[in-house]
Chain A
Amino acid sequence: MRKRFSTLAALAAAIVIFAAVPGQAHFGAIIPSDDIVTQQLKGDLALEIKFLHPMEMEYMEMEKPETFGVMHKGKKTDLTERLKPAGGKSPGQEKTDTFWKAVYPIRRPGDYTFYTEPKAYWEPAENLFIKHYTKVCVNAYALEQGWDQPVGLETEIVPLTRPYGLWTGNVFTGRVLVNGQPAAHAEVEVEYLNESAGDSGYIEPPFSPYVTQVVRADAGGVFTYAMPKAGWWGFSALSEADWTRQHEGKEKNVEIGAVYWVRTRDMK
């Protein structure tokens, strides 16, 4: 009896340990059809709004975001009504999960910062809610104005590197804000969107630390990362919200993430 109990306990402990080391990071994502709009663009800009593990290409079910919008020349426009559900899954996934699509006609020059506030996502493995405020910037007609302005979200990354027109190998530097203030020593997770690898195919991480890169911001909330491959890169700065949310009658912590996406291209 006693032996059986200890086996059970060991098994339970193993499960807990396994579950507590997810080895993969959740990322909110807004991926536009390109980060640059010129006269050569056919049709309108298409955007995909997702919640996924970018490196492992695993989707998570995403409810319709509370807000999806765009900021251009300091003016915010709500685009939530443009969201249309779509289904996505990685090669290894059985079930199709929901992500969201939107089309936005860009008619004027300047920088367009798209942003989304998703609904809080309950993550049983981490015993908390996850809410990733996500942004991406698209430049139109070579007028480079607006990318360095905050949107005013609960938490967000404000770029210090111009966030478009980046070469492979460039660094991306950003400042993490929580409630408008620099988030000192915030942890920033970095992942490559594996499905953006294109012709060169899927990148197989040799060991689990290669899945998610981790950098810690300095006292001013500033972090830097150099991107070694062409494609889309996501930066996710995590903080604990100063509010909680109920799950099955109990107050649970909320992890708020400030996520930013940039694209790199090879020099050739």
Chain B
Amino acid sequence: MKTRTYFLAAAAACLLLFAASASAHKVSVFAYADSGKIYTESYFQNGDPVANGGLKVYDSNDNLVAEGVTDNQGLFAFEIPRADDFRIVIDAGMGHKSSFILKKSRVKAAIKSGGQP
């Protein structure tokens, strides 16, 4: 029982430490379109990847068109839904949220280059 309390305390301390170090780093998401797909990269300011971050993609009417979870390199890719302006939002938890607008012109070019409809 006592061991378990110690363990919990240690875990809580770790979590606090982690939260403190992560909060010094701003989260960003970047996206580009290439060959029919949209590729996203989510990272902390110092370059550490945002792993297991929730990523949501909205079209120009604010409809959710794609969502997923970043891998341990902070990457997530999805098929281009159609030519539109997309707002890509990463939520890394603990108030770390950031977004990126991928312009329709860039999306269009990638549809052409990828031979996708």
Q: Quick check: is A39 within 8 A (CB to CB) of the other chain?
A: yes
Cβ of A163 to closest chain B Cβ, rounded Å: 15
Do B47 and A144 have beta carbons less than 8 Å apart? yes
Do A143 and B32 have beta carbons less than 8 Å apart? no
In whole angstroms, how far apart are the Cα atoms of A145 and B43 in the complex? 11
Q: Quick check: is A88 within 8 A (CB to CB) of the other chain?
A: no
In whole angstroms, how far apart are the Cα atoms of A212 and B56 in the complex? 52
Do A142 and B28 have beta carbons less than 8 Å apart? yes
Cβ of A133 to closest chain B Cβ, rounded Å: 26
Residues of chain B within 8 A of A107, CB atoms compared: 32
Report the interface size class on chain B: 10 to 19
Q: Quick check: is B30 within 8 A (CB to CB) of the other chain?
A: yes
Cβ of A110 to closest chain B Cβ, rounded Å: 8
Q: Quick check: is B105 within 8 A (CB to CB) of the other chain?
A: no
The closest CB in chain B to the CB of A144 belongs to B45
Do A141 and B47 have beta carbons less than 8 Å apart? no
Q: Quick check: is A109 within 8 A (CB to CB) of the other chain?
A: yes
In whole angstroms, how far apart are the Cα atoms of A109 and B46 in the complex? 12
Contacting B at CB under 8 A, from A131-168, are 141-145
Do A143 and B47 have beta carbons less than 8 Å apart? yes
Contacts A141-B28, A141-B30, A143-B30: A109 and B43 contacting too (C-beta < 8 A)?
yes
In whole angstroms, how far apart are the Cα atoms of A109 and B41 in the complex? 9
Do A39 and B101 have beta carbons less than 8 Å apart? yes
Please give the residue numbers on chain B whose beta carbons come within 8 Å of chain A beta carbons, in ascending order: 26, 28, 30, 32, 41, 43, 45-47, 100-101
